[in-house]
Structure 1
């Protein structure tokens, strides 16, 4: 009996020992699992934080490019290309599931490119501002020169307002009258269509020291009251535009005032209002009208 009790106590001790060993093993395993879980959580948190950081930096980089592109400078094409690289990297970071820190070096390279382009862009803006101020000053000077010329030659509304037009010739004081020719060759002015034998058209080319001298051609167009073009009725093309003219007036211009007078002979002139236009190539430079009774 006593031996049975001793055996029972011994068995119980063994069982308790085994359970204690298992408990200690379980606690160690749980501790290990817990530690590894915390490490994984730390890695995931760090990765997520780095990904958010890189994305934030890239978004700011893109915003900088968007603002610069909106200014529409001569560097716009280069700026768009660099912004597209930023957008592509943002897509790569967004799709990444692992460590996003590898994209940090790519961001730093893009940031360096951005700083260089922004510095160049600022330099171009300053140059453009200087050129704009110089252009505005030139326009002011030309405006004063225009006013001075208007006082001297009697004002022409078609005078140039731009630098390019400043060198163009000005046609003014245009006059037209009908004449009857005597057998003696004498011309007598008339207002009656039935008596008219010739139309005399005259105009003045103003002095312009900055214009190119040499032979000039003006296309003169005379339209009667029935909308017919009188004279040669020849048509000339200028690109996609065409012009039907009555005659060509050829003038030798030497940067001084020139008075031009041309005769347009005819017969059976219609009664009514006539319109006379003078063209420098396809540009209307002067016009007038008169009436035959």
Structure 2
């Protein structure tokens, strides 16, 4: 009887211990499961934080690249890039819990949309800039061509002006000089002896020129004797930096037709030798000749 009571107590104790053991094992399993879940949450949260930081870094790089293109939206792009940078700094300092990560993900998504919209605007601006650049290049080409053409025209006009100027100049030809003896009767007898000469007769022809200016033309005649003396008036006139000593002047009324000019230069004691006669149109020598007296 006593043995039966002892066995019953022992069985009861074993049953209680079994229940306690099972309870302990269940509690330990629960704690282990919760720890694993917590570790999984922490690991997942850390991974999500790194992923968001990576996405933000990529977004910042996109903004940097867009800013480097130096478009008219550079200020707006810089402002948006600074928002991304600020968000990255805040995320780095945060604990990275689920609530904060959710907030940062939402902010990232908003910035990503903003970036997309701004990139679309930048793309439109690029096209417009390319079109504008193309237009400017075309305009520059046209302007350069026009400049070259104008330079050619200026050169042609200058050459034409020079040609016209040359064409307008009167040609003095057939310059002749002869010595004469003046008789008391007024008759003049040509001579080649210096001792008999009383005057020199200089003649020349102004050729016809249809495009020359009409009106009075003044010519300066210079006669130099064998002793290198200028005969006649010996007057001096300056044309710019050039001075001219002449014997006399003759004024011709020119009307685009041939004109024969004849002038006389009185003198005495003419020297023997070679004489030189020069005709000037202002400071320009237009004809010359020589003759000799014996």
Q: How far is 1:246 from its partner?
A: 0.9
Q: How far is 1:175 from its partner?
A: 0.4
Aligned to 1:176: 177
User: Which residue of 18, 21, 25 maps to 2:38?
Assistant: 18
Q: Could you list the per-position Cα deviations for residues 174-215 of structure 1 after superposition, in whole angstroms to 9, with x for gaps in the alignment?
A: 101223334444433333434433221111122334444443
Q: TM-score, normalised by structure 2?
A: 0.58
Aligned to 1:42: 62
Aligned to 2:274: 273
Instruction: Answer yes or no: is the 8 Å Cα contact 1:51–1:100 preserved in 2.
Output: no
Q: TM-score, normalised by structure 1?
A: 0.58
RMSD over equivalenced CA pairs, Å: 4.4
Counterpart CA distance in 1 for 2:39 and 2:24 is 22
Aligned to 1:238: 239
Counterpart CA distance in 1 for 2:153 and 2:231 is 53
Provide structure 2 residue ranges, at least 5 long, that are not aligned to the other structure.
1-19, 72-121
Aligned to 2:290: 289
SS of the residue 1:163 aligns to: helix
Instruction: Return 174-183 or 99-108, whichever deviates more.
Output: 99-108
SS of the residue 1:284 aligns to: strand
Instruction: Answer yes or no: is the 8 Å Cα contact 1:218–1:279 preserved in 2.
Output: yes
Q: Could you list the per-position Cα deviations for residues 258-290 of structure 1 after superposition, in whole angstroms to 9, with x for gaps in the alignment?
A: 221111122333343322111222232211122
CA gap 1:284/1:7 in 2 versus in 1, 3 angstroms = same
Provide structure 1 residue ranges, at least 5 long, that are not aligned to the other structure.
53-98, 140-160
SS of the residue 1:26 aligns to: helix
Counterpart CA distance in 2 for 1:274 and 1:234 is 18
Matches within 5 A, 1:212-231: 212-231=213-232
